[in-house]
Amino acid sequence: MKKINIGLLGCGTVGTGVAKLLIENRELIRSRVGAALNLKYVADIDIQTDRGISFDDGVFISDAQKVLDDPDIDIIIEMIGGEGLAKEFIQKAIHNGKHVVTANKALIASHGNTLLRAAAEKGIDFAFEASVGGCMPIIKSLRESLVGNRITSMIGILNGTCNYILSKITDEGKTFEAALSEAQASGFAEADPTLDVEGFDTAHKLAILNSLAYGMEINLKDIYIEGISGITPLDIEFAGEFGYRIKLLAIGKDKGDAVEARIHPTMIPFDNILSNVNSNLNAVMVSGDAVGDMLLYGYGAGMMPTGSAVISDAADIARNILSGAKAGRVPLLSYQSENIRKIPVMPVDEIFTHYYFRFSALDRPGVLSKISGILGKHDISIKSVHQKGRKTGGSVPIVMLTHLAKEADVKKALSEIMLLDVVGDKPVIIRIEDQNGQD
């Protein structure tokens, strides 16, 4: 039986999951792949901490260069993370002609165009299924299963930390701060949660998916990003009264000569299946001209779910090696390299969507007409209005939902409304995705 040698760089949470699967499920994997996926080396700076794995002698080492330079290693699995050392090691692996598997979404989103081009020129495979959606095979679906489809949109919940926090605020009435603390205590959020809660992690994933779906170069810098730290129980309560839940969504849409790409808290109706994806689960709805809507759902992070996706990539590469298939048999970014273009990301000011506004206004006659008058002047039509009871100091929340409006017009109107002496605090704005209410 042929043996495919693997070198694993990094044995943190996900790296440990990868090693466990390769060792504990080796016979299962061998029976499916037709070769032994042999974990020859695991390199990590910390080789003292017990990972709960019985490595063979000489497998667990601290010298990553030894792994990269070993001529018998066929596949390098990078589980270090970040954009520094991981990038250096991947470049070395490519230079040495070794196939690469990674879960490093930040690296792919920021440097993928360069790294994938180098891999293609070297004639090696570069796989990154685990970089988006954990165990959900969204990358394989876009690259292979949906090859006959024109992808019209992708809308997804791609960060389990944010989804957990919003679920706690919605279902238990917790504040953002309390929900975040609970997420950290449960291991769903980092000590510094900025990348997650401010939307950057989700943006990394959307940048990758856009490239695969639309044949564009990976473009992270132009994605509009807005996090969930400003979401309050009050706004979630109002959303529920209107028949919506609030989720942090990644939204990518084909606009012909541009791609709409944005990350922000979004109100979606109760009957939208994504509204019922809770806790730390992920889901993405892909719409294609042949398949219609297709949903993928599962754990987007974690030792074993993400490890499973990494093993899937390693198995695909092993099968290519066994069959003598040319590397890049399936294009690394779904499209043939000559067909990948620089497609612009639509500026957020150009989008049209529905909006939720919450104003804190003095309880005086004529306030509502002043606000609605400014909105009307900027071509923003009001769909419904709720004005709640009196509050201390005479301020009351005024909540409005709009018909379709242009983001640039909304910004102009809100800037003008903030100048009114009867309106205090900054208005809250949440965009709405409601396919049933397009108008």
Which runs of consecutive H residues, i.e. helices, occur in 333-405? 367-377
How do the residues of the chain divide into helix, strand and coil, expressed in percent and rounded to 5?
Answer: 40, 25, 35
Long-range contacts of 255-260 (CB under 8 A, 24+ apart): 255/346, 257/343, 257/344, 258/343, 258/344, 258/345, 258/346, 259/210, 259/214, 259/216, 259/343, 259/344, 259/345, 259/346, 260/345, 260/346, 260/351
Per DSSP, helices labelled H in 173-302 are 176-185, 194-197, 200-214, 233-241
Is 78 a known ligand-binding residue? no
> Among the options 40, 98, 168, 205, which is catalytic?
205
Annotated binding residue 392: no
Q: Is 16 annotated as a binding residue?
A: yes
Helices (H) and strands (E) in the chain, counts: 14, 17
User: Residues with Cβ < 8 Å from 145, sequence gap 6 or more?
Assistant: none
Residue 12, marked binder: yes
Known binder of ligand: residue 423?
Answer: no
Is there a contact between 189 and 196 (Cβ–Cβ < 8 Å)?
yes
Element holding 26 (H helix, E strand): helix 26-33
Query: Is 187 within any annotated ligand binding site?
Result: no
Separation in Å, CA 5 to CA 68, 70, 99, 202, 317: 12, 10, 11, 33, 12
Strand ranges for 234-370 from DSSP E? 244-254, 259-269, 281-288, 292-299, 352-362
- Name the one residue in this structure whose structure tokens are 């495919």: 4
Lateral strand order in the sheet of 3-9: 60-61, 36-43, 3-9, 75-78, 99-102, 126-127
How buried is residue 6: exposed, middle or buried, by Cβ count under 10 Å (0-12/13-18/19+)? Answer: buried
**Is 350 annotated as contributing to ligand binding?**
no
205 is catalytic: yes
Residue labelled with tokens 């920021």: 110
Q: Tell whether 162 is in a known binding site.
A: no
Identify which of 307, 297, 299, 295 has the alpha carbon closest to the alpha carbon of residue 280.
299
User: Binding site: residue ranges?
Assistant: 9-16, 105, 190
The residues that are catalytic are 205
User: Binding site for NADPH: residue ranges?
Assistant: 105
User: Binding site for L-homoserine: residue ranges?
Assistant: 190
